[in-house]
């Protein structure tokens, strides 16, 4: 008799993950609804649910009041008994936060603070703000996700080069925080975290192939293909922002000149406004001024949009995504700017590639990206990720 090629233990773990993903994507749900949506047999669903309830990843909630008869309790992702923590590292400000497994940030547990000037002070500041979140009675902390800018070595978790946060160069905040806090910490490049946030809760739900362009502090790219993020051989893929556009342009944080990042981001727009006003201006103030109708500044805004269109065209021409999501504040600077951007993209992109691509503004943010990073890790610890069946979408 030959041995079966099917590994029962792996199959069981895959079923557990499948059930958890169904609740994540569609929940809260009854057991019958989980069975219907998952395509898994009722006994298998019951066994998987039992395992998830025991591990604290699922919770039972009260049935809807309008339900007839004696309906069973609904299943939902853990928010009371288990949580995850997140950290956002950025050039000017950092944040520490907590979330349920449903990805909803607990606003009362968000702590934002100016980014310290040294790595040691940064780690100390993070530890001080995370420790109180670990002590809540009756709550299990499943891990901490870190959204981090720049190039990150996948094997070591070390920052290789962060043009906008050099304090992390050659450092491994995930490893250092795990040692100080005694919990599992997972570092995600911020664009990859944004990808996962959109995949779980945003515009990319149900999509296995899409691209995420982050044009906030820097310019980063995340590409999801076949339900997996393209990371490159060592995890450094996606640094589109450091493509040279202007041979004699502004000095970039990476040490080069004329990088796309210096021309097509929130930071680039804020810097252009600062130069015009002869004082430092952040993106929040820049957006307010544009919305108030500051004519002398309109040229800077249009120029930034033109370079953003170049970046979007490069992504579409190179990766041929079905959907491209744009994350950044500069499109809030005026009504109709997104339409203007789409027209500029049309001029800069190969027509056949653009025709098959839907361009949308992203719903998520870096805080959700940090949470998505650790939730993705929790899911991966259950079983390997399987791509969802491709979702249908409307043409652009």
Does residue 395 fall inside a structural domain? no
Query: Domain count of the chain?
Result: 3
Q: Is the peptide bond before 28 cis (omega within 30 degrees of 0)?
A: yes
Answer positive or negative: Cα dihedral of 58, 64, 68, 70: positive
Give mean pLDDT, residues 161-165: 95
CATH number at residue 44: 1.10.10.10
Q: Which H helix or E strand runs over 327?
A: strand 323-327
Give mean pLDDT, residues 152-164: 93
Q: Do 228 and 324 share a domain, yes or no?
A: yes
Condensed to tens digits (0 to 9), the pLDDT of residues 64-84 reads 655 555 556 899 999 888 999
Q: Do 154 and 17 share a domain, yes or no?
A: no
- End-to-end, the C-alpha distance of the chain in Å comes to 55
Does residue 355 fall inside a structural domain? yes
Residue with tokens 């309830």: 53
Contact indicator for 146, 89 with CB cutoff of 8 Å: yes
What gap in Å lies between CA 392 and CA 124, rounded to an integer?
A: 47
Helices 42-55 and 8-26, packing angle to 10 deg: 80
Last residue of a domain, one of 77, 111, 129: 77
Does residue 1 fall inside a structural domain? no
Condensed to tens digits (0 to 9), the pLDDT of residues 12-38 reads 888 898 999 899 888 799 999 999 998
Q: Do 121 and 148 share a domain, yes or no?
A: yes
**Closest C-alpha among 214, 185, 209, 190 to residue 199:** 209
Q: Do 55 and 137 share a domain, yes or no?
A: no
Q: Do 358 and 375 share a domain, yes or no?
A: no
Does residue 392 fall inside a structural domain? no
Residue 2 has pLDDT above 50, yes or no: no
pTM score of the predicted model: 0.89
Q: Do 241 and 292 share a domain, yes or no?
A: yes
Q: Do 38 and 150 share a domain, yes or no?
A: no
Does residue 391 fall inside a structural domain? no
Region for residue 39 given its phi and psi (left: phi exceeds 0; alpha: psi -120 to 50; beta: otherwise): left
Q: Do 357 and 210 share a domain, yes or no?
A: yes
Give residue 89's domain range.
82-195+367-382
> What backbone phi and psi angles, to 5 degrees, belong to 115?
-65, 120
- In 10 A of CB 325, how many CB atoms? 25
Residue 55 pLDDT: 87
Last residue of a domain, one of 23, 49, 77: 77
- In 10 A of CB 131, how many CB atoms? 12
Residue 71 pLDDT: 59
Does residue 2 fall inside a structural domain? no
Residue 145 has pLDDT above 70, yes or no: yes
Q: Do 32 and 158 share a domain, yes or no?
A: no
Compute the C-alpha angle 359/362/368, nearest 5°. 155
Q: Do 138 and 210 share a domain, yes or no?
A: no
- The lowest-confidence range among 61-65, 167-171, 293-297 is 61-65
CATH number at residue 224: 3.30.420.40
Does residue 103 fall inside a structural domain? yes
Residue 386 pLDDT: 63
Does residue 252 fall inside a structural domain? yes
- The lowest-confidence range among 49-63, 159-173, 267-281 is 49-63
**Closest C-alpha among 182, 81, 95, 91 to residue 131:** 182
Give mean pLDDT, residues 117-122: 97
Give mean pLDDT, residues 103-125: 96
Q: Do 151 and 214 share a domain, yes or no?
A: no
Residue 395 pLDDT: 39
Compute the C-alpha angle 4/7/10, nearest 5°. 165
Residue 396 pLDDT: 42
Q: Do 272 and 378 share a domain, yes or no?
A: no
Residue 392 pLDDT: 43
Residue 70 pLDDT: 55
């Amino acid at each position: 008799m030959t041995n079966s090629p099917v590994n029962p233990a792996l199959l069981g773990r895959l079923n557990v993950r499948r059930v958890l993903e169904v609740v994540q994507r569609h929940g809260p749900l009854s057991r019958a609804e989980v069975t219907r949506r998952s395509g898994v047999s009722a006994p298998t669903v019951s066994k998987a649910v039992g395992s998830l309830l025991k591990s604290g990843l699922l919770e039972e909630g009260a049935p809807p009041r309008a339900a007839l008869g004696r309906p069973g309790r609904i299943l939902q992702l853990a928010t009371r008994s288990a949580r995850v923590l997140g950290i956002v590292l950025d050039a000017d400000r950092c944040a520490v936060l907590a979330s349920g497994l449903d990805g909803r940030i607990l606003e009362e547990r968000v702590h934002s603070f100016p980014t310290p000037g040294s790595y040691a002070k940064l780690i100390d500041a993070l530890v001080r703000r995370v420790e109180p979140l670990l002590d809540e009675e009756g709550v299990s902390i499943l891990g901490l996700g870190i959204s981090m800018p720049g190039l990150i070595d996948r094997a070591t978790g070390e920052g290789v080069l962060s043009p906008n946060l050099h304090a992390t160069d050659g450092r491994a905040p995930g490893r250092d925080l795990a040692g100080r806090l005694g919990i599992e910490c997972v570092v995600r490049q911020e664009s990859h975290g944004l990808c996962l946030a959109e995949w779980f809760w945003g515009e990319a739900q149900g999509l296995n192939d899409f691209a995420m362009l982050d044009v906030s502090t820097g310019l980063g790219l995340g590409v999801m293909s076949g339900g997996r993020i393209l990371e490159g051989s060592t995890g450094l893929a996606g640094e589109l922002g450091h493509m040279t556009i202007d041979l004699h342009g502004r000095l970039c944080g990476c040490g080069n000149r004329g990088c796309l990042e210096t021309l097509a981001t929130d930071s680039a727009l804020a810097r252009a406004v600062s130069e015009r006003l002869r004082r430092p201006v952040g993106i929040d103030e820049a957006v307010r001024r544009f919305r108030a109708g500051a004519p002398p500044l309109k040229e800077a805004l249009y120029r930034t949009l033109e370079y953003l269109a170049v970046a979007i065209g490069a992504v579409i021409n190179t990766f041929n995504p079905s959907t491209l999501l744009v994350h950044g504040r500069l499109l809030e600077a005026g009504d109709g700017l997104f339409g203007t951007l789409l027209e500029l993209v049309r001029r800069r992109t190969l027509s056949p590639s653009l025709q098959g691509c839907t361009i949308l503004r992203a719903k998520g943010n870096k805080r959700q990206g940090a949470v998505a990073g650790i939730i993705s890790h929790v899911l991966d610890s259950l079983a390997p990720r399987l791509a969802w069946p491709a979702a249908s979408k409307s043409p652009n």
